Amino acid sequence: MASMFNQKYGISGAREVHWTLRIGVARDRNIRTISLSQGEYTNNLIERFRLQNATTITILLEPGAILTKDQCPTTPTQLQDMSGTRY
């Protein structure tokens, strides 16, 4: 199967994976762990939305809170109020 991938895509799987699908991969063979990180992706988003100088705030959300689609704005007034929100 590995030879099929190599023929079709030019990959052999012989090297250590450091990046895949924009996710950083770090492997520690001594303690048998694999860590995944999206730090680079996060930094790109910060730059894209010009948030380098943004300050952080804490928004209290009760642990275990369940958010549902039913809580989304539905009326024209609610939709207008949320129109400038990027999330």
Residue range 1-27: mean pLDDT, rounded: 79
Largest CA distance in the chain: 59
DSSP state of 51: -
pLDDT at 67: 87
Q: Is the pLDDT of residue 27 over 80?
A: yes
Instruction: Collect all residues with Cβ–Cβ distance below 8 Å to 13 and sequence separation of at least 6.
Output: 2, 5
Q: How far apart are CA 44 and CA 47, in angstroms?
A: 5
pTM above 0.85, yes or no: no
Mean per-residue pLDDT of the chain: 86
Q: How far apart are CA 40 and CA 27, in angstroms?
A: 17
Q: Is the pLDDT of residue 18 over 80?
A: yes
More confident site: 86 or 37: 37
